[in-house]
Amino acid sequence: MRYQDAGVDIDEADRAVSAIRKLARGTFTRGVLTDIGTFGACYSLARWKNPVLISSADGVGTKLKVAFATGRHDTIGEDLVNHCVNDIAVQGAQPLFFLDYFATGKLEAAVAAQVVAGLARGCRQNGCALIGGETAEMPGLYAPGEYDLAGFIVGAAERRGLLTGKRIRAGDVLLGLPSNGLHTNGYSLARKLLFEVAGYQPATVVPELGGSIADALLQAHRSYLKPIRALLDKGLLRGAAHITGGGITENTPRMLPEGLAAEIDTRAWRIPPVFELLRRLGNLPEDDYRRTFNLGIGMILAAPRGKVRQAEAVLRSLGEPCYAAGQVVARKRGGPRVVYR
């Protein structure tokens, strides 16, 4: 017997790696010291004076199921990169390099290349090098036509430039930056409501969404690196929260010092139609609704009240819309960390 008789095709893996190598090289930055294919990837920190490395790992959850159902695999990688970039950007990090883990039961080089094309695109847009990764073929572990995807990012910030939230004060204004839809959270509930409860198919066109269910669900997770860096460079940012799983309710407090809470003005922005559709289909309780989805806000920024107009002007110069989503307040003893008004 050969390895191929057990379900592992080394030749197909070689074809996949060949495509991946070309895509990855297109993302290399000055700090990359090794080519794809070495046992370990090397990156130089020579241009940094007193760097702090900031790292994160994540996946895209059951959004992958939508990719499987539609055969559209070219945006999933971009979702993953942007999610990871946002997670370290809120701490002041500039992304340096990214590694991916792609695992499947039967490797299809063309599918792997689509996924990595999205990874490469996301890395290029964020100035981040796709420096390495792992492509694993494991027969019997995944259903036919399915795969799993995870990403690992490392960024750096000068120690004095870390964004910790410690400088946030009561009275600071909370600015909300719009999301592109669900991003990469809440898909288990969304798929159940749309495909099982409502009986929609991925290709079903829903007029209020302005397109098909697949189009709405596969909207790319946005990167907020540029607005965060622009505000940091101007000294206009005291804290930032990436609104992912847990929604505004659970993510906003992650940037707040003890004794402070966020007061959110629910009239400050219009919740996008896809979320309102999901609420109607599931008759979702308000608390669960707010803790499952981002509801149209993908990032919340804390800016000093006296500098809000400057911050808004910087965002406008980038073409970045924002909402005055609320303010930081003193937390009442035993009270919630987020209050909706």
3-state secondary structure 219-251: CCCCCCHHHHHHHHHCCCCCEEEECCCCHHHHH
Q: What percent of the chain has pLDDT over 90?
A: 91
How confident is the model over 153-180, as a mean pLDDT? 97
How confident is the model over 129-133, as a mean pLDDT? 96
Say how many CA atoms lie within 13 Å of 56 toward its Cβ: 22
Q: For 223-247, what is each residue's pLDDT tens digit? A: 999 999 999 999 999 999 999 999 9
User: Is 90 exceeded by the pLDDT of residue 50?
Assistant: yes
User: Is 80 exceeded by the pLDDT of residue 250?
Assistant: yes
- Residue 37: the pLDDT is 84
Dmax of the chain from CA atoms? 73
- Residue 104: the pLDDT is 96
| Greater pLDDT, 102 or 20 | 102
Model pTM score: 0.95
Binned at pLDDT 50, 70 and 90, residue 1 comes out as confident
Cβ neighbors of 22 (< 8 A, separation 6 or more) are none
- Residues 335 and 259: their CA atoms lie apart, in Å, by 10
- Residue 261: the pLDDT is 98
Average pLDDT for the chain: 95
Q: For 298-331, what is each residue's pLDDT tens digit? A: 999 999 999 999 999 999 999 999 999 999 999 9
How confident is the model over 182-193, as a mean pLDDT? 97
User: Is 70 exceeded by the pLDDT of residue 176?
Assistant: yes
Provide the residue ranges of all domains of the chain, joining segments of one domain with +.
Answer: 3-161, 173-340
Pairing of strands 173-178, 323-330: antiparallel
User: Is 70 exceeded by the pLDDT of residue 5?
Assistant: no
- Residue 2: the pLDDT is 75
Dihedral in degrees, nearest 10, Cα atoms 296, 298, 304, 310: -80
Q: What percent of the chain has pLDDT over 70?
A: 99
CA nearest neighbour of 193 among 277, 273, 275, 282 = 282
Domain 173-340, CATH homologous superfamily name and number: PurM-like C-terminal domain (3.90.650.10)
- Residue 334: the pLDDT is 87
Q: For 197-229, what is each residue's pLDDT tens digit? A: 999 999 999 999 999 999 999 999 999 999 999
Report how far apart, in Å, the C-alpha atoms of 313 and of each of 28, 101, 206, 227 are.
33, 40, 36, 11
Binned at pLDDT 50, 70 and 90, residue 150 comes out as very high
Under CATH, which number does the domain 3-161 receive?
Answer: 3.30.1330.10
Q: For 114-123, what is each residue's pLDDT tens digit? A: 999 999 999 9
